[in-house]
Structures are given as structure tokens and as C-alpha cells.
Amino acid sequence: MTSYGTLNGKVALVTGGSRGIGAATALRLAREGADVAVTYVNGKDAAEDVVRAAEALGRRAVALRADSADAPETAGAVTRTAEALGGLDVLVNNVGVGLLGPLESLSVSDVDLLLAVNVRGVFLASQAAAARMSAGGRIITIGTCMTQRVPGPGGTLYAMSKSALIGLTKALARELGARGITANIVHPGPIDTDMNPGDGPYAPGQAAMTALGRFGTSEEVASMVAYLAGADYVTGAEFSVDGGHAA
């Protein structure tokens, strides 16, 4: 959606950027000219692969271990990015926990984990990023198509946690707009990743729920994120990259 080079001189942090949508987003932003930081918890080798790929594009890049369930580590990743790369212009809140199951099977610890990572972690990262950003800053959050349409049972906790991010995004847009900082949210549909492979046992049913009848790719989501990273007059908005899942 954007032409390469539009983010020259910018610094971007992609949380959960070692694989899937996060890795594709980090590399797309690097192709657009941004230096990038990615966070990971267990995927150190994969995160370092992303760093090497970004460096091969001529960008500076760093992999940071940060657990988004841990409040100090979440905000600390923003500080470490700014220290390593000289500032922060784009935050992509990509990291998230997916947990599906019958309502009666969900425990208090399940609730605490999803809210800690999917809601509190996004808030704290956004708060820390906003404190460092100047005009032109971008906060882009990855939501889910399940905030627009829950196609079946088992999604109560996950849909609730991701739906909170819509309100956060709109409020951030209002609070930060006067400073020239935008906030938007992207809702992926079924996306072919190692956690939800397009040839997996549940893939045919998921694909059938989309208007296009197929899974999307991580790169298709990354393209939308890259557009928003360069867009000046778009804020407080939701964008579906879901193949018509919500149509």
C-alpha cells in the first residue's frame, strides 16, 4: 500500500515480532526504511533471524526479550528500543495470547493471563511509547476479526480481551491527536501462520467463513500496518484484513 522508503529514518518496535504477523510486519517496515526492534519470550533464534533479515536490508535491528505478561518488562521494551535505536516513532502492538474454550472451562488464571498480555500489556506499551513519541508517532494495534463477528462458541475470553483494544485505540486517538500522534487497530481474519496453519485440521471451516474462501497471509496484514505507519490523516479507525469474514 505504500512505496518503499516512506519510513526512512524512523524507528519501529514490533512486539511479538519473532514469527508470523509480527515477523512479517517488522520486515515490511524495514523494507519501508525503518530501523526495527522486535520482542520475544521463547523464540530467541527466530527473533535473531528477523534481525539478520532486517540488517540485510540495510537497517539497524535488535531483538529484545520481554514478557508482555510482566508489566515492568512491557514498558521496559519501549525504553530499551529507544536507547538501542535512538528513539521511537512506530509501536506495533502485535503480541497476544489466544485461548479458546468453553465458557465453563476457563479459569481465573486464564482470565488473568489474557487480560495481562492482551490488554494491560498493550496499554502499558502504548503509554510508554506515547511518552517518547513526537509528532508523526504511530501506535498500531493488532486486534482480531472476532471483535467484529464471533462465528461460534468458545471465544468469549479472547474476543473480550481483544475488543477492549478498540476502546483503547479510539481513546488514544483522541488523547494524542493534538500532538500529531495517531492510533489505529487492524483486525486480521484467518491468517496462515505456524499457530494457525492454512493447511491445518481447522482450516477448511475457517476459510469457508470468509467471503474470499481462503486464509490470508502475514504479509497482507503487514501491508496494512505499513500503510498506517505512513498515513498522516488516519486515526481512531478499525481496519479489517479478514477476507470478508465480517461481511
Per-residue pLDDT reduced to its tens digit, 172-182: 999 999 999 99
| Band of residue 2 on the pLDDT scale cut at 50, 70, 90 | very low
Q: Does residue 1 lie within any of the structural domains?
A: no
At 34, the amino acid letter reads: A
The pLDDT of residue 4 is 58
What is the rounded average pLDDT of the residues 79-95? 97
At 18, which CATH number?
3.40.50.720
- Using alpha carbons, select from 38, 37, 77, 92 the residue that is nearest to residue 60: 37
| Band of residue 148 on the pLDDT scale cut at 50, 70, 90 | confident
The pLDDT of residue 154 is 82
Q: Does residue 71 lie within any of the structural domains?
A: yes
In tens, the pLDDT along 198-246 reads 888 888 999 999 999 999 999 999 999 999 999 999 999 999 999 999 8
Reply yes or no on whether the pLDDT at 1 is more than 60.
no
Q: Which residue has the cell 467484529?
A: 148
**DSSP-derived pairing of the beta strands 61-65 and 90-93:** unpaired
**Mean pLDDT estimate for the chain:** 94
CA dihedral (149, 152, 157, 160) in degrees, to 10, reads: 20
Reply yes or no on whether the pLDDT at 5 is more than 80.
no
C-alpha cell at 91: 509501536
State which residues form the domain around 44: 11-241
Q: Does residue 153 lie within any of the structural domains?
A: yes
| Band of residue 195 on the pLDDT scale cut at 50, 70, 90 | confident
Q: Please confirm, yes or no, whether 4 is among the known catalytic residues.
A: no
In this structure, are residues 75 and 127 in contact, taking their beta carbons and an 8 Å threshold?
yes
The pLDDT of residue 196 is 85
In tens, the pLDDT along 60-77 reads 999 999 999 999 999 999
The pLDDT of residue 194 is 82
What is the rounded average pLDDT of the residues 95-117? 92
Total structural domains within the chain = 1
What is the rounded average pLDDT of the residues 114-127? 97
**43 CB-side CA count, 13 A:** 18
Q: Does residue 6 lie within any of the structural domains?
A: no
Q: Does residue 16 lie within any of the structural domains?
A: yes
Q: Does residue 143 lie within any of the structural domains?
A: yes
Catalytic residue among 158, 202, 227, 233: 158
The pLDDT of residue 231 is 96
Q: Does residue 32 lie within any of the structural domains?
A: yes
